[in-house]
């Protein structure tokens, strides 16, 4: 039996252990004290600063963890991200304070890939628009498009992009991909067409974003990129909202080539009541639920728990994040 660690752990993730009670049970049996997020939402910076003074480890959700949080946490040794992306964590500050940051690569890849494929069908058949109309007492007859035979363009061919590629190929689509770090074995095995960014953008009927958020990718999808898209095409974003310049997407829908978009993530979450995307029938919006399946939550939680306890026990974690500016495609 593992010896109980003399450590205090803060769990800011709201969904950790919700679908698998054994995660919380195992964590509570392994450390001296566990504190959970009591707010039912992401913690603010001020709330985090007040909470971390005597904390040794954090199982972190999507809240921002900046240099001021590290400065307020002299005992902090590890942040185990409950997910993949770490753009919400100041990695330079983590390095400065000697804090190990881990994530759970691949654990939610299948869930996000499935949602992306769901968006292909929802967009091509106007499913959300038809659903709203029927609920309102109408009976519309909207003509859609078949997904089979279309070109699916992927910006990013990491674990999630690969999951989308496998599924799209099984549907009879042609898959093109752009990624600075190509997995050649996957490309050769699945016959994915690797091409420069501009070529993928120009050929895709569906352009799907699966790049990490870095200084280089922030705002990548702007008007200059959108205006090169195929007329009548669709944009899908299940990655990070900041990859997209939102006002340029409005232009692309109103005056440019886009027929529609499906977004699981926005720059501001949740969006303000006056956000221009709200109420538009040509944009499908979901509340950053790409990874929200029972299976993914269990897998992500188990990895986060294992990584946290490894560091607190003085062992090397399996999925330590490089504390440089380089972040690999999830």
Strands (E), 68-201: 78-81, 100-102, 151-155, 174-178, 193-194
First-to-final CA distance of the chain: 34
Determine what percent of the chain falls in helix, strand and coil, rounding each to the nearest 5.
35, 20, 50
Distance CA 235, CA 246 (A): 12
How far, in Å, CA of 139 to CA of 47, rounded?
Answer: 49
Given the residues 77, 205, 210, 240, select the one marked as catalytic: 240
Residue-level length of the chain? 330
For CA atoms 247, 64, 316, 37, the dihedral sign is: negative
CB 112 within 8 A of CB 160: yes
Which of 46, 269, 281, 326 is catalytic? The answer is: 269
Pairing of strands 151-155, 193-194: unpaired
Q: What would you report as the CA-atom Rg of the chain, rounded to the nearest whole angstrom?
A: 21
Known active-site residue 63: no
CB 276 within 8 A of CB 139: no
Catalytic annotation, pick one of 24, 166, 288, 328? 288
In the sheet with 5-11, reading across from the earlier edge strand, the strands are 31-36, 5-11, 57-60, 78-81, 100-102
Distances in Å between the alpha carbon of 227 and those of 123, 215, 236, 296? 19, 22, 16, 36
Residue 328 falls in the annotated catalytic set = no
- Annotated active-site residue 135? The verdict is no
Q: Strand, coil or helix: what is 237?
A: strand
For residues 211 and 243, what is the distance between their CA atoms, to the nearest angstrom? 8
**Residues annotated as catalytic (active site), given as ranges:** 240, 269, 288
């Amino acid at each position: 039996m593992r010896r109980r660690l003399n450590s205090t752990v803060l769990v800011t993730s709201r969904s950790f252990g919700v679908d698998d009670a054994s995660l919380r049970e195992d964590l509570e049996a392994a450390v001296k004290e566990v504190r959970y997020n009591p707010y039912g939402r992401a913690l603010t910076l001020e709330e985090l600063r007040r909470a971390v003074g005597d904390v040794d480890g954090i199982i972190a959700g999507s809240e921002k963890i900046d240099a001021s949080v590290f400065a307020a946490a002299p005992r902090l040794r590890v942040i185990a991200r409950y997910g993949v992306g770490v753009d919400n964590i100041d990695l330079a500050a983590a390095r400065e304070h000697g804090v190990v940051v881990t994530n759970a690569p691949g654990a939610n890849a299948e869930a996000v890939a499935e949602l992306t494929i769901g968006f292909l069908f929802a967009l091509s058949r106007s499913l959300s628009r038809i659903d709203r109309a029927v609920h309102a007492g109408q009976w519309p007859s909207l003509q859609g498009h078949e997904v089979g035979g279309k070109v699916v363009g992927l910006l990013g061919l990491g674990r999630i992009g690969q999951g989308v590629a496998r599924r799209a190929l099984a549907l009879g689509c042609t898959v093109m991909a752009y990624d600075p770090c190509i997995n050649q074995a996957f490309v050769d095995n699945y016959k994915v067409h690797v091409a420069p960014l501009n070529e993928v953008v120009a050929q895709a009927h569906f352009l799907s974003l699966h790049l990490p958020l870095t200084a280089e990718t922030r705002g990548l999808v702007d008007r200059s990129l959108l205006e090169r898209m195929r007329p009548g095409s669709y944009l899908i974003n299940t990655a990070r909202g900041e990859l997209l310049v939102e006002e340029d997407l409005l232009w692309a829908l109103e005056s440019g080539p886009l027929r529609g978009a499906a977004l699981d993530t926005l720059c501001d979450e949740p969006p303000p009541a006056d956000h221009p995307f709200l109420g538009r029938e040509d944009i499908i919006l979901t509340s950053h639920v790409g990874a929200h399946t029972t299976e993914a939550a269990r897998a992500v939680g188990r990895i986060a728990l294992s990584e946290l306890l490894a560091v607190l026990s003085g062992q090397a974690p399996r999925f330590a994040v490089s504390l440089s500016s380089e972040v690999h495609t999830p």
